[in-house]
């Protein structure tokens, strides 16, 4: 039986952040660095603005290949990843990332079929959220 986890994005980020901070340091000591890989302009702008206003540093790209390059060249506290992207899709990106890194990955996608959710989690996503 598969369990689809429903963890709010902020909670996931905070959990990861606390794991990476040393003893005696507060969460406020470090700005979270998030990579957003989202091809839809309206969604990308909305998320980048909202996360930025909440105090997070956000890098945003609309292309799969660019997103993979950024993910491999920089250190991120969280990657928010769409499945349907130009060039390299989200499935391919997470396969490469899981072979090389242990960064939390949150799928945020319009693909709402159960098989897609299972695939995303089996490939190593920490959570899979469907866009409204």
Can you list the domains of the chain with their CATH numbers?
A: 9-17+30-126 (3.40.50.2300)
pTM value > 0.85: no
Which pLDDT score, from 0 to 100, does residue 94 have? Answer: 98
Report residue 129: phi and psi, to 5°: -115, 140
User: Please, are residues 129 and 106 in contact by the beta-carbon 8 Å criterion?
Assistant: yes
What is the pLDDT, as a whole number, of residue 4?
A: 42
Strands (E), 4-91: 33-37, 57-61, 78-81
Asked if 97 and 105 count as a contact pair (C-beta separation under 8 A), the reply is yes
Q: Show the low-confidence residues of the chain (pLDDT under 50).
A: 1-25
């Amino acid at each position: 039986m598969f369990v689809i986890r429903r963890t709010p994005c902020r909670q996931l980020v905070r959990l990861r952040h606390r794991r990476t901070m040393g003893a005696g340091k507060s969460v406020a000591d470090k700005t979270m660095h998030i990579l957003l890989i989202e091809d839809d302009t309206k969604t990308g702008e909305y998320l980048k603005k909202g996360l930025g206003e909440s105090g997070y540093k956000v890098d945003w790209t609309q292309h799969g290949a660019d997103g993979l390059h950024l993910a491999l060249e920089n250190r991120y506290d969280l990657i928010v990843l769409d499945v349907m992207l130009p060039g390299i899709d989200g499935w391919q990106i997470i396969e490469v990332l899981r072979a090389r890194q242990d960064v939390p990955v949150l799928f945020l996608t319009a693909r709402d079929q159960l098989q897609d959710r299972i695939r995303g989690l089996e490939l190593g996503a920490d959570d899979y959220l469907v866009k409204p």
